[in-house]
Amino acid sequence: MEAGKPEKLIVNGRRLDGRRPDELRPLRIKAGVLKRADGSAYIELGKNKILAAVYGPKEMHPRHLQQSDVAVLRCRYNMAPFSVEERKRPGPDRRSMEISKVIREALEPVLFLHLYPRAVIDVFIEILQADAGTRTAGITAASVALADAGIPMRDLVTGVSAGKVDGTVVLDLMKEEDQWGEADMPIAVMPRKKRITLLQMDGNFTPEEFRQALDLAFKGIDLIYEAQKEALREKYLPSLQEEKGEEK
């Protein structure tokens, strides 16, 4: 057995943190947390703590990276040195470069990039504390930050992960489950259209388990989508009501 691995990850239908297989970790999303970014959001999902900041659309520099007909979406996923147990060496590595790329591809379909030729939209995702599922929680926060920046969008994008632990299909894996489980499937969805914009998989599922995992993921996405909308309402509803002269 691997060092530190508990004998069982699910006991009497309960996971290490007491959740049932179909439960999300405690979730909190706040929109507009940074004064100097055009849009921002903060998410906590279990022990994950993640900030997303958006700048733009603004003129792309260096100019040779400009696209004459569309805006460029630039995403940077970065883990703080103190975000994981052993200090993480600062700066980009293969993993963060791959994650930045798949996050960009997950967010691009909701944006109208042709509205801003030669511009750039910068999305920074800073992982302050990591406990598995950071790419999907990062996507969830980034789409709230894009909306907070006032950038027109077709939909939000909502991410979650589903997987398999001790032979059971589970929603929203935490670190121990990601590390010792049999499968991890991060997924991002445009929730209104139910269009998948990211699907990755580590490990293996039977076709039936895959269907179960997809089903669980969509249930989790519904809940997370509600929290995203609530975060935006919380920030914007009071000022909208003020404009209309309504009481707060």
Residues engaged in binding ligand ADP (CB under 6 A) = 84, 86, 88, 95, 130-135, 175, 178, 186
CB closer to ligand ADP out of 130 and 156: 130
C-beta of 41: minimal distance to ligand ADP in Å? Answer: 17
Contact 160, 221 (CB under 8 A): yes
Taking the least distance from each CB to ligand ADP, the nearer of 32 and 136 is 136
Cβ proximity to ligand ADP: between 74 and 88 the closer is 88
As beta bridge partners, residue 168 has 165
- Tell me the H-state helices in the chain: 94-107, 134-148, 175-180, 207-243
Shortest distance in whole angstroms from residue 216 CB to ligand ADP = 16
Compute the distance between CA of residue 15 and CA of residue 17 in angstroms, rounded to an integer: 5
What is the spatial order of strands in the sheet that 48-59 belongs to?
Answer: 27-31, 39-45, 48-59, 119-129, 72-79
State the minimum distance, in angstroms, from the CB of residue 86 to ligand ADP: 6
Q: How far is CA 147 from CA 12, 43, 164, 230, in A?
A: 42, 15, 33, 12
Whichever of 38 and 184 has its CB closer to ligand ADP, that residue is 184
CB of 78 to ligand ADP, least distance (A): 12
Q: Which residues of 59-82 are buried (b: 16+ CB within 10 A; e: fewer)?
A: ebeeeeebeeebbbbbbbbbbbee
Nearer to ligand ADP, 41 or 99 (CB): 99
Q: Quick one: 86 or 208, whose CB is closer to ligand ADP?
A: 86
Please report how close the Cβ of residue 208 comes to ligand ADP at its closest, in angstroms.
Answer: 24
How far is residue 42's CA from residue 212's CA, in Å, rounded to a whole number? Answer: 30
Residue 49 CB, nearest approach to ligand ADP (Å): 11
